[in-house]
Chain A
Amino acid sequence: MTRTRWISLLGRYGVVVALLLLILFGWLRYDYFLGFFNISSVLRYNSMFALVALGMCFVIMTGGIDLSVGSTAALGSVVAALFSPQGTWIGLGAGVGAGLCVGLVNATLVTRLKIMPFIATLATMLAASGTALLLADNQSVSVSYDSGFTSIGQDNFFGFPIPAWIALAAYVAGWIILNFTSTGRGVLAVGGNEDATRMMGLPVGRIKFLVYLASGGLAGLAGVILASQFGAGQPIEGVGWELFAIAAVVVGGTLLTGGVGSVGATLAGVLLLGILFNVLNFENGKGWISLSAYWQSVIRGLFLLIVVVLQAKLAARGDAAVRDH
């Protein structure tokens, strides 16, 4: 195996290796790390971020960005909570529908009005947040406990939390779409070279439209889980989710310039950042060190720093290795 191949393999599977090492570390060091309670609470909580990051991954693969996912999730949670007395499915549908509406606005702004994704989604982030606050009258909206709506976020199915199943289903669907459909291949083509893709006759506008729509819908779904899990629609939740999702996507090795990306590695990125938190909590519990919650963002930032510097180095060496041959 050549050096180039090693470098590209490390770049591609580095995040999975890191995730396995972290899990191994936790398993050896803490008694209940792989216990049922811990696994299900980590999965239950991180499934929301996983959904948001999946949408973000697709948007980023086309070379765009979606800053609105956090406030879209907040809006989704409020709308779902407002509709939850009508029944589980109606609450679910309303929350996802609200997310799709934001996604539709993003898609229209980016593909029809040709506004840069960064600015377009920055604006919808403000608008979604304002709408959520207006609908919720500036406070959290309690969900209905009679209609069964809370079971989406709180119950288990075959021993695993329902949100984790939802996220898993979304990732499987995302993986199939990316790898086995023409739209999925088009997503990577658009991110790689938009003009060339257009000249090849692929429907660039439609592909971009769909990824923003999907990102909005997934953020809405994350909002439904948020409302259901915590028993309330929360208009001020979701602050900073977009940047967490971007970090997870970047840690997963998807390039922000578009054209390269992997659904599985994004999931590994989400889990890596989530489990890092979990390990810190366990470490605090052991009493050897006492890190306040504030250290967690410092450590996350450091972690992101290491990953992006390594990626940059690998990319530079990969380029050099390609030149040498």
Chain B
Amino acid sequence: MTGTSPMTRTTARRFDPFDFLARYGTLIALLLLILFNLVFTRNFATIQTLNVNLTQVCTIVIVAVGMTLVIATGGIDLSVGSLMAISGALAPMIFLGKIMPIGNIYLAVAAAMLVSIAVAGLFGLFNGWLISAFRIQPIVATLVLFIAGRGIAQVMTNGNLQTFRVPQFQFIGLGRVLGIPVQVILMLLIVLAAAWMLKRTVFGRQIIAIGGNERAAELSGIAVARVKLLVYAISGLCAGLAGLVVIAINSSSDANLVGLGMELDAIAAVAVGGTLLSGGKATIIGTLIGAMTIQLVRYTLLANGVPDAAALVVKAGIIILAVWIQQQGRAHA
């Protein structure tokens, strides 16, 4: 065996442009975009630009982290946008005292946050239950709540817009700590926690193992059903939190609009970030970079006078290009 090792080492070291691009392409694209903007976009290198982009990308990243875990097991979660609408509809009903009056505003806000995120988590658990107990395909199982979930939020609020001005609650969308928006801090904490979990914990390795080969994972003693339940519950929790951030930023909650189309934005971020959509390989940091790249492309186009509709077409091209390059990289590897 030792005789072959120099050979393999040289082949491994030979530069393969596709492999390199597949690994770092999205990061390079992000850096090139920043460079382009520094040269061509007015007032790009300002704290305000940074804040605008970060606050817009936050909710997508928070949802996409949960989505990355789901996709890593070989699944998909179409219900995230609807779950955002549910938590976004429920929270104001609690802190505005529509369900039951709570005297202390801090207590009311805490209850609103905990209950609405927990409810979203329970719906996620329901997704996981359908998928693991009945062996229903994830895309069909989560389609149920995609359709019914927004309806539930609309029924709860009777389709009405809920407006509010509650600084204690809106801290998560409008507040700042040391000049950094609170939702950016939330996003970074979630990204770091998930990245650590995926790389360094048994649970994280089990997620990857299931996505790589579910049957083998089951035979090697992993409690596949339990891991899947948890993964979909986590995705629900992330969606619930993102729903709260969105309504906090808007000072209002519209069950018809909160989280609309979020499932596709999140999946796009995950795919561009380099996570394999068939499962078994996942990167949380990649998802963060993927989401920021898509956001910055849109910002760059808008800032340079390209209409939003054209930006959609460009976004489509970028998704295809990123996925294609990653595929070439794998084929060459």
Name A's B-contacting residues (CB within 8 A): 65, 67, 109, 113-116, 118-120, 122-127, 129-131, 133-134, 138, 239, 243, 246-247, 250, 256-257, 292-302, 304-305, 308-309, 312-313, 316
Name B's A-contacting residues (CB within 8 A): 76, 78, 130, 134-137, 139-141, 143-152, 154-155, 158-159, 261, 264, 267-268, 271, 277-278, 307-313, 315-317, 319-320, 323-324, 327
Q: Assuming the A-B contacts A247-B143, A247-B147, A300-B148, are A292 and B313 also in contact, with contact meaning beta carbons closer than 8 angstroms in the complex? A: no
**Please, which residues of chain A bring their CB within 8 A of the CB of B143?**
243, 246-247, 250, 304
- CB atoms of B309 and A130 under 8 A apart: yes
**Please, which residues of chain B bring their CB within 8 A of the CB of A302?**
148
**Please, which residues of chain B bring their CB within 8 A of the CB of A300?**
147-148, 151
**Separation of A256 and B323 alpha carbons in the complex (Å):** 23
- CB atoms of B144 and A301 under 8 A apart: yes
Q: Which residue of B lies closest to A250 (CB)?
A: B140
- CB atoms of B147 and A123 under 8 A apart: no
- CB atoms of A134 and B277 under 8 A apart: no
- CB atoms of B323 and A126 under 8 A apart: no
- CB atoms of B313 and A113 under 8 A apart: no
**Please, which residues of chain B bring their CB within 8 A of the CB of A138?**
307, 309
Q: Give chain A nearest CB distance to B142 CB in angstroms.
A: 10
Q: Give chain B nearest CB distance to A313 CB in angstroms.
A: 7
A122: contacting residue among B130, B154, B319, CB under 8 A: B319
**Please, which residues of chain B bring their CB within 8 A of the CB of A250?**
140, 143
Interface of B, helix, strand, loop or mixed by DSSP? helix
B135: contacting residue among A67, A134, A316, CB under 8 A: A316
- CB atoms of B312 and A129 under 8 A apart: yes
B313: contacting residue among A122, A127, A239, CB under 8 A: A127
| 10 closest residue pairs by CB, A with B | A301-B148, A130-B312, A297-B151, A133-B309, A294-B154, A127-B316, A298-B151, A123-B316, A312-B134, A301-B147
Q: Give chain A nearest CB distance to B11 CB in angstroms.
A: 24
- CB atoms of B135 and A127 under 8 A apart: no
**Separation of A88 and B145 alpha carbons in the complex (Å):** 40
Q: Assuming the A-B contacts A116-B278, A133-B309, A297-B150, are A256 and B139 also in contact, with contact meaning beta carbons closer than 8 angstroms in the complex? A: yes
A126: contacting residue among B134, B139, B152, B315, CB under 8 A: B315
Q: Give chain B nearest CB distance to A316 CB in angstroms.
A: 7
Q: Which residue of A lies closest to B261 (CB)?
A: A239
**Please, which residues of chain A bring their CB within 8 A of the CB of B268?**
122-123
Could you list 13 further interchain pairs (A-B, Cβ under 8 angstroms) beyond the known A123-B320, A247-B147, A304-B148?
A113-B324, A115-B327, A119-B323, A127-B316, A130-B310, A243-B146, A246-B139, A292-B158, A294-B151, A294-B155, A301-B146, A301-B147, A305-B148
The number of A-B residue pairs with CB atoms under 8 Å apart is 138
Q: Which residue of A lies closest to B150 (CB)?
A: A297
- CB atoms of B309 and A298 under 8 A apart: no
- CB atoms of A292 and B155 under 8 A apart: yes
**Please, which residues of chain A bring their CB within 8 A of the CB of B307?**
134, 138
- CB atoms of B150 and A134 under 8 A apart: no
Chosen A-B contacts, 20 in total, with CB atoms closer than 8 Å, are A113-B320, A115-B323, A118-B277, A122-B319, A123-B319, A123-B320, A125-B264, A126-B313, A126-B315, A127-B313, A129-B309, A131-B309, A239-B261, A243-B143, A294-B158, A298-B155, A300-B147, A308-B130, A308-B136, A309-B134
Q: Assuming the A-B contacts A109-B320, A126-B316, A134-B310, are A301 and B134 also in contact, with contact meaning beta carbons closer than 8 angstroms in the complex? A: no
- CB atoms of A296 and B151 under 8 A apart: yes
- CB atoms of A301 and B149 under 8 A apart: yes
Q: Give chain A nearest CB distance to B78 CB in angstroms.
A: 7
Instruction: Identify the interface centre among A119, A129, A309: most chain B CB within 10 Å of its CB.
Output: A119
- CB atoms of A122 and B312 under 8 A apart: no
**Please, which residues of chain A bring their CB within 8 A of the CB of B261?**
239
Q: Which residue of B lies closest to A122 (CB)?
A: B264
**Separation of A296 and B152 alpha carbons in the complex (Å):** 10
**Separation of A178 and B273 alpha carbons in the complex (Å):** 39
Q: Give chain B nearest CB distance to A129 CB in angstroms.
A: 6
Q: Give chain B nearest CB distance to A290 CB in angstroms.
A: 12
**Separation of A325 and B65 alpha carbons in the complex (Å):** 46
- CB atoms of B151 and A301 under 8 A apart: yes
Q: Give chain B nearest CB distance to A133 CB in angstroms.
A: 4
Q: Give chain A nearest CB distance to B4 CB in angstroms.
A: 31
**Please, which residues of chain B bring their CB within 8 A of the CB of A292?**
154-155, 158-159
Instruction: Identify the interface centre among B76, B159, B313: most chain A CB within 10 Å of its CB.
Output: B313
- CB atoms of A297 and B324 under 8 A apart: no
**Please, which residues of chain A bring their CB within 8 A of the CB of B327?**
113-115
- CB atoms of A304 and B317 under 8 A apart: no
**Please, which residues of chain A bring their CB within 8 A of the CB of B320?**
109, 113, 115, 119-120, 123
Q: Which residue of A lies closest to B153 (CB)?
A: A294
